[in-house]
Amino acid sequence: MRRSCTLLLLLFAAPATAQQSKPIDPANLDTICAPCHDFFQYANGGWLKRASIPGDLPAWGAFNELQERNFDALHAVLDAAAADVRTTRDADLHKLGTFYSTCMDSARAETAGVKPLAADLARIATVRSRGDLAGTIAHLHRIGVPAGFTFRSTQDAKNSSRVIAEAYQGGLGLPDRDYYTRNDSASRALLSNYEAHVAAMFTLAGRSKAAGAAAARGVLAIESALARASMTPVEQRNPEAIYHLTRLADLQAAQPRLGWSGYFDAVGLTGIAELNIGQPSFVAALDSLVANAPLESWRGYLEWQLLSSRAPTLDSRFVNESFRFNSTVLRGVKEMRPRWKRCLIRTDAAMGEILGKAYVARHFTPEAKARALEMVGNIRAELRDRLGRLAWMTDTTKTKAYAKLDAIVNKIGYPDHWRDYSALRIDPVAFAANVSRASAFAFRRDMAKIGKPVDRNEWLLSPPTVNAYYNPPVNEIAFPAGIMQPPFFDPKADDAVNYGGMGAVIGHEISHGFDDQGRQYDAQGNLSGWWLPADEKAFNQRADVVREQFDGYVAIDTIKVNGKLTLGENIADLAGLTIAYGAYRRSLAGRDPPKIDGFSGPQRFFLSWAQVWRGTYRPEYAKLLAQVDPHAPPALRANGPLSNMQEFAEAFSCKAGDPMVRAARAEIW
């Protein structure tokens, strides 16, 4: 869609960073742009006019505004925990305060230099034969360094009641395989910039310039080979393509050169007979690299993975070089975030449920949870009705779809049982050492799940996170406390605003259970062919209309949106918004809501949806996302689903032929 309504000045506007005073603030609109021409611009043009991306961020939008407010709240929690370290009797808060304090201790980091990594570097230096690689890679995995491949627990996709081990592609320093394989001049320039970054890190760690450059070439050779053997993001969206349940003995026989049994022993998995291999061809390439890449290159590669992973925890030379490449070159960010924010993010990653427990005690109310549960109930009921009315689905498949919908578990706000951190030890030592301890705790915890039943209480995001998810193998939706705030959810706002924001988010997550990927999992979370072939065909035809719609959009410059990569999210947006709208009508129970600021209830519903997606991105970041992000750019997420909806056209009196009314409408649920 071409966006051309950008020539308007809005006067008397409040600064874009201030929290808006009304749930739908007329000052955020661009009413010169017709809603039927470009609704994103109409709903957000005033906001966009005033918005500027803070120097320390790659983007600015509704998500960031809320994130920054949450950061302030969490900052207060952490400052209090740090101040109380000597006096508190709460072991968890003691850990929280100590971890955060050691991160904030910049003087100590400057004095220590690379010393906190000395033992791990020495361990890598002991790799004298190819037989030493498995044990050293296992050591790095145990402290959270992503070397060679990813190793983790996962639910068995075809027997979702059990947890198994999984080896998955990984070990790259750049965000995606294509960064290594593309041949255009911009991509080649980026790759040599990366090589210079790797060399600079080696030099900081003590090598000469020439030795650093040579080691960087070895790293690039190994990573490029791993990249060539990696699946694309689109290929990984096919759950069958990444499921290869394999006996450990068979893996060891077919690809003997890494020494998988030794690796399993080293990560503490004794008596485990099988695992899932995400990408057999990747494991084969790894096996060949173990045999053929020079040992000097392997030592350099492992050292690089350690340095890259820990650079942000070391002295400012490492911090600055890591920032230069990862934030400025890859994402266009101009300034480093203040130290407290970087430490806050690290603390959330290390002990998110200690931080989250303190956060929800201060910032999440039982009323918010009750209101959200009521919305979830209405949205589920609406989807059930819609399933019943579908002309294209047979009754046989419908019955199974009902069963799946009814089995979806709701998680709202925070976990029923908080994570036990008693085995995690945090001391006033170098911050890098505490990061290793926290990573080791997380890895041990993950390995301990293998061979045991699934813990259905577990959350995949911490409570303060501004996000939500659907998890197919557990068949659950989760909405952390962090997202249940304006502009998504406002206890003081009318239903139109809450259903257009939070309601559409809830609808989006539930719909993931029925998108092109999620629909392949049944009520118990098993990857099973529960669809009749005719229904599958009818679904795919409808999904194809969505794919074609988004294939036709431009993400940035000449880069098109990848309709296949973003298909699941676009289906979830379309379905989620449609269902949320139905649930909104349901909540009105026949009442006609009064106009507010001249807008009807339905109009406010759609304005609320569009304002959730207000945002602006740095070009470098937009290009990165176009490659790896399964979500389309925000303006398209706002307009794409609306241009398929008759209800939207009616609310704003849009006519056939208007840009916001698609001739070939996509409709699934």
Minimum gap (Å) between residue 567 Cβ and Zn ion:
11
> Which part of the chain contacts Zn ion (CB under 5 A), choosing from 131-139, 423-431, 437-445, 572-580?
572-580
The bridge status of strand 159-168 relative to strand 274-277 is parallel
The bridge status of strand 274-277 relative to strand 245-247 is antiparallel
Looking at the Cβ atoms of 516 and 569, the one nearer to Zn ion is: 569
**Long-range CB contact pairs, 590-596, < 8 A, 24+:** 593/494, 593/495, 593/496, 596/24, 596/494
Distances from the Cα of 585 to the Cαs of 164, 216, 378, 500, 578, in angstroms?
Answer: 44, 60, 10, 11, 11
Looking at the Cβ atoms of 164 and 405, the one nearer to Zn ion is: 405
Minimum gap (Å) between residue 170 Cβ and Zn ion:
23
Looking at the Cβ atoms of 223 and 569, the one nearer to Zn ion is: 569
> Which part of the chain contacts Zn ion (CB under 5 A), choosing from 1-9, 64-72, 128-136, 565-573?
565-573
Minimum gap (Å) between residue 637 Cβ and Zn ion:
10
- Exposure b/e, 607-622, CB count within 10 A at least 16 = b: bbbbbbbbbbbbebbb
Looking at the Cβ atoms of 432 and 477, the one nearer to Zn ion is: 477
> Which part of the chain contacts Zn ion (CB under 5 A), choosing from 111-119, 257-265, 567-575, 637-645?
567-575
Q: What is the CA radius of gyration of the chain?
A: 26
Looking at the Cβ atoms of 569 and 629, the one nearer to Zn ion is: 569
> Which part of the chain contacts Zn ion (CB under 5 A), choosing from 29-37, 110-118, 540-548, 568-576?
568-576
**How many chain residues are in contact with Zn ion, going by CB under 5 A?**
2
Contact by Cβ (8 Å): 148, 285: no
Minimum gap (Å) between residue 63 Cβ and Zn ion:
13
Q: What string of H, E and C letters represents the secondary structure of 484-525?
A: CCCCCCCCCCCHHHHHHHHHHHHHHHHHHCCCCCHHHECCCC
Beta carbons within 10 angstroms of residue 56's beta carbon: 15
Three-point CA angle 454, 460, 461, nearest 5°: 160
- Secondary structure of residue 662 in the 3-state scheme: coil
Looking at the Cβ atoms of 218 and 576, the one nearer to Zn ion is: 576
DSSP for 447-476 reads: HHHTTSB--TT--SS-TT-S--EEETTTTE
Minimum gap (Å) between residue 569 Cβ and Zn ion:
5
Which sign, positive or negative, has the C-alpha torsion 222, 224, 227, 229? negative
Minimum gap (Å) between residue 568 Cβ and Zn ion:
7
> Which part of the chain contacts Zn ion (CB under 5 A), choosing from 169-177, 241-249, 566-574, 648-656?
566-574
Looking at the Cβ atoms of 139 and 637, the one nearer to Zn ion is: 637
**Cis amide leading into 487 (omega within 30):** yes
Minimum gap (Å) between residue 630 Cβ and Zn ion:
8
Q: Which of residues 84-143 bind Zn ion (CB under 5 A)?
A: none
> Which part of the chain contacts Zn ion (CB under 5 A), choosing from 32-40, 79-87, 159-167, 570-578?
570-578
Minimum gap (Å) between residue 436 Cβ and Zn ion:
33
Sheet holding 469-471, edge to edge: 409-413, 476-480, 469-471
Contacts of 264 (CB under 8 A, 6+ apart): 165, 248, 270, 272
Looking at the Cβ atoms of 327 and 511, the one nearer to Zn ion is: 511
Minimum gap (Å) between residue 460 Cβ and Zn ion:
13
Looking at the Cβ atoms of 332 and 507, the one nearer to Zn ion is: 507
Contacts of 67 (CB under 8 A, 6+ apart): 466
Minimum gap (Å) between residue 576 Cβ and Zn ion:
8
Q: Which of 489, 484, 514 is nearest to 408 (CA)?
A: 514
The bridge status of strand 554-556 relative to strand 469-471 is unpaired
Q: Which two tokens stand for residue 630?
A: 């399964």
The DSSP symbol for 483 reads G
Looking at the Cβ atoms of 81 and 638, the one nearer to Zn ion is: 638
Q: Which two tokens stand for residue 318?
A: 């490492």
Looking at the Cβ atoms of 315 and 509, the one nearer to Zn ion is: 509
- Secondary structure of residue 148 in the 3-state scheme: coil
Looking at the Cβ atoms of 132 and 509, the one nearer to Zn ion is: 509
Partner residues linked to 412 by β-bridges: 479
Binding-site string for Zn ion from residue 516 to residue 555, where x marks contact by CB under 5 A and - marks none: ----------------------------------------
Minimum gap (Å) between residue 632 Cβ and Zn ion:
11
Looking at the Cβ atoms of 137 and 572, the one nearer to Zn ion is: 572
Q: Which two tokens stand for residue 194?
A: 């990366």
Looking at the Cβ atoms of 98 and 566, the one nearer to Zn ion is: 566
Minimum gap (Å) between residue 270 Cβ and Zn ion:
38
Minimum gap (Å) between residue 508 Cβ and Zn ion:
6
Minimum gap (Å) between residue 53 Cβ and Zn ion:
24
Which backbone phi and psi does 574 adopt, to 5 degrees? Answer: -65, -50
Q: Which two tokens stand for residue 657?
A: 């032929």
Beta-strand (E) ranges in 420-578?
Answer: 469-471, 476-480, 554-556, 559-560
Q: Which two tokens stand for residue 203?
A: 């030099």
> Which part of the chain contacts Zn ion (CB under 5 A), choosing from 88-96, 449-457, 569-577, 660-668?
569-577
Looking at the Cβ atoms of 71 and 613, the one nearer to Zn ion is: 613
Q: What is the rounded CA–CA span in Å between residue 669 and residue 665? A: 13
Minimum gap (Å) between residue 546 Cβ and Zn ion:
14
Looking at the Cβ atoms of 355 and 372, the one nearer to Zn ion is: 372
Minimum gap (Å) between residue 153 Cβ and Zn ion:
23
Q: Which of 241, 230, 234 is nearest to 562 (CA)?
A: 234
* Contact positions vs Zn ion (CB under 5 A): 569, 572
